[in-house]
Structure 1
Amino acid sequence: MYWNPENLLKSIDLSSNDLTGEVPKELGYLLGLVSLNLSRNNLHGQIPSEIGNLNSLEFLDLSRNHISGKIPSTLSKIDRLAVLDLSNNDLNGRIPLGRQLQTFDGSSFEGNADLCGQQLNKSCPGDKPIGTPEGAAVDGEDEDSIFYGALYTSLGLGFFTGFWGLLGPILLWKPWRIAYQRFLIRLTDYILLMVEVNMAKCHMWFKG
């Protein structure tokens, strides 16, 4: 039976060894790798995209190094990845979207000043701000309160002005009150007269 040696190695732990240089891209050929810990060293350069080929990887810790550049989007393809720590490096840009990377919180990415994304609650250049600032919400509520307060005040003043502008003189000034009463009496008499005339016409029309 033929064995692929790259499938035999399951775990690599070289943490706290003062290692220097870049993370070797050849790690991406160790397809049987389940755990990779290179934390607490002096590694620099970028995270090789080939690590995304490690479909069996469940644990990845590259924290506390000097790794720079962007997080490769290929990491989001590792479905089994359960533990990820890229904190305290010099990573930058947006945290890639998709699958596994969305399941990790900000602690996996903190300590990278130029890194941005939803997990860090930090918007990237060109994005809409994540969440609504408390001050903005308060300002919005204040604006609504001012608007409705002004509206109700205007309605109240309009009703008051209209009511007293029309009925005030009639109720308070005797000559106007008498004239208004006479107008109502004449209007009532006219309406009754028109009703009687129309009823008489209808009666004659039915008899004819």
Structure 2
Amino acid sequence: MGLVKTIDLSSNNLTGEIPFEITNLHELLVLDLSNNALVGEIPQDIGQMKELLTLNLSKNMFSGEIPSTMSKMDRLNDLDVSYNNLSGRVPSSTQLQSFPPERFVGNAGLCGLPTMKKCLEDADEGVPPVGDSEDDADELQRWFYIGGATGFATAFWIACSTLLLNRRLRHAFFHFHSCLKDWVYVKVLVFIARMQRVARA
């Protein structure tokens, strides 16, 4: 059967395991075994079927891990292994990670991209979840405001105490304040007069 291009046995009452010899069909383009009662593991040598474009194993009772050899199936553009009993990490490859998460749902033990479940070894790497990063940022911002307010209050009371205890400095400060106020007042009047002349012209 080396010349067979398509096998579609979906929606039957097939039982048992997939014969490992099926991986010898190197010219196969479409394999659809969905919606049966097949058990066992996906053949480890399935990666030899490098011409395969469509692989549908959904709605069966396959168990074990997705074979790592599937990462070599770079022509695969349609994959569905949903609603089985698969477990472990989805093998890393540009092709497998490109499929939507819906193609892997119904397998409680599956983890890693593109599924929505993180693998335990990923959690042990110490990479904080997004929520924890946001909490840390909020905590840092809160302490920034607290520190700024405390520093301002401390500096304000130090300045006030200095002015209260040192009469010469207090007189100099109020003299400077009075001169600054007069300077600003004159500048504002000159600016208003200039604007009025421009408006009349």
TM-score by length of 1: 0.75
SS in 2 for 1:115: strand
C-alpha contact (below 8 Å) 1:77/1:99 kept by paired residues: no
Answering whether residue 139 of structure 2 is matched by residue 143 of structure 1, we say yes
2: distance between equivalents of 1:80 and 1:160? 71
**2:23 alignment partner in structure 1:** 28
1:25-174 to structure 2, matched below 5 A, reads: 25-128=20-123, 132-133=130-131, 136-171=132-167
Q: Which runs of 5+ in 2 are unaligned?
A: 173-201
> Which residue type is aligned with residue 155 of structure 1?
G
State which structure, 1 or 2, has the greater radius of gyration over its C-alpha atoms. 1
> Which residue type is aligned with residue 104 of structure 2?
F
The two structures, once aligned, show a CA RMSD in angstroms of: 2.1
Judged with a 3 Å threshold, the aligned counterparts in structure 2 of structure 1 residues 130 and 147 are, in CA distance, closer, same or farther, namely closer
2: distance between equivalents of 1:125 and 1:145? 31
State which drifts further: 17-26 or 158-167: 158-167
C-alpha contact (below 8 Å) 1:123/1:130 kept by paired residues: no
Q: How far apart are 1:14 and its partner, in Å?
A: 0.5
Deviations 1:49-98 (A, max 9, x none): 12111111000000000000000011110111110000000000000002
TM-score by length of 2: 0.77
1: distance between equivalents of 2:139 and 2:63? 45
> Which residue type is aligned with residue 100 of structure 1?
Q
Q: Which runs of 4 or more aligned residues in structure 1 lie more than 6 Å from their structure 2 counterparts after TM superposition?
A: none
2: distance between equivalents of 1:66 and 1:54? 22
2: distance between equivalents of 1:95 and 1:36? 20
1: distance between equivalents of 2:71 and 2:39? 22
1: distance between equivalents of 2:19 and 2:128? 35
SS in 2 for 1:126: helix
Q: How far apart are 1:44 and its partner, in Å?
A: 0.4
SS in 2 for 1:158: helix
